[in-house]
């Protein structure tokens, strides 16, 4: 929607059918923010805000930009990024010690650096991409599921172009059979892709 004072882009990310399908599969994606660029004849138009809403029909977005320059011949909309929560039901067998293999969530590797016991608690030390947030994680200890008792903040490190984050999650209880359960993550997904173009003939 273009006016002499502003330009508004509105669209839909998922319809109700996709939402229901994702919920049944247990892999529902709930967007939190969207990054769109509006290009007028190849030059970016200043953004003034964006928002996402959800109703019974689906998920909708709106971004607001300055007015298009006079005599604009071509516009492009570029999807830069999408941030949101993904519901899932992933369970990984882990063992005490440093010999655990890396696990993978949505094509992102999570390194299990160490699993150890101390004073009746089980400690799980993890390293993963800094833009990945493990927002719902639990541990099954000999079949008994427990949530985090505490989180020991770690540090950020740079590995080439990637920024990694390490932290240790403390779970109350100890046992022999350990299963790490991940039910929700927040993820920043980069696209840098033109999703719509219009050129005046």
Q: Structure pTM?
A: 0.75
Taking only the tens place, the pLDDT of each residue in 123-166 is: 999 999 998 999 899 999 999 999 999 999 889 999 888 899 99
The shares of helix, strand and coil residues in the chain, as percent rounded to the nearest 5, are 5, 75, 20
Taking only the tens place, the pLDDT of each residue in 86-105 is: 888 899 999 999 999 999 98
DSSP string covering 125-161: EEEEETTEEEEEEEEEETTEEE-EEEEEEEEEEEETT
| Chain center to CA of 86 | 7
Q: Are 178 and 121 in contact (CB under 8 A)?
A: no
Taking only the tens place, the pLDDT of each residue in 20-61 is: 556 556 557 778 889 999 999 999 999 999 999 888 777 899
Residue 19: predicted pLDDT: 54
| DSSP state for residue 71 in the 8-state scheme | T
Residue 160: predicted pLDDT: 84
Residue of 185, 31, 179 whose CA lies nearest to 112: 179
Beta bridge partners of 115: 97, 124
Give me the count of residues in the chain: 201
Q: What mean pLDDT value characterizes the chain?
A: 90
The CA-based dihedral angle spanning residues 127, 131, 135, 136, taken in that order and rounded to the nearest 10 degrees: -50
Residue 144: predicted pLDDT: 96
């Amino acid at each position: 929607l273009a006016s002499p004072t502003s330009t508004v882009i509105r669209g839909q990310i998922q319809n109700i059918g996709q939402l229901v399908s994702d919920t049944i599969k247990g892999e529902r994606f709930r967007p939190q923010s969207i990054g769109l660029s509006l290009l007028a004849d190849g030059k970016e138009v200043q953004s003034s805000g964006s928002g996402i809403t959800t109703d019974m029909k689906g998920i909708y977005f709106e971004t607001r930009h300055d007015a298009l320059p006079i005599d604009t011949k071509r516009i492009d909309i570029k999807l830069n990024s999408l941030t949101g929560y993904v519901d899932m039901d992933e369970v990984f067998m882990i063992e005490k010690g440093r010999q655990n293999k890396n696990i993978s969530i949505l094509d992102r590797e999570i390194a299990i650096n160490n699993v150890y016991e101390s004073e009746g608690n089980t400690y799980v030390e993890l390293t993963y991409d800094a833009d990945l947030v493990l927002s719902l994680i639990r541990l099954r200890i000999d079949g008994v599921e427990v949530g985090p008792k505490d989180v020991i903040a770690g540090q950020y490190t740079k590995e080439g172009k990637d920024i990694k984050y390490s932290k240790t999650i403390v779970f109350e209880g100890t046992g022999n059979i350990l299963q790490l359960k991940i039910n929700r993550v927040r993820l920043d997904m980069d696209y840098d892709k033109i999703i719509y173009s219009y050129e005046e003939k």
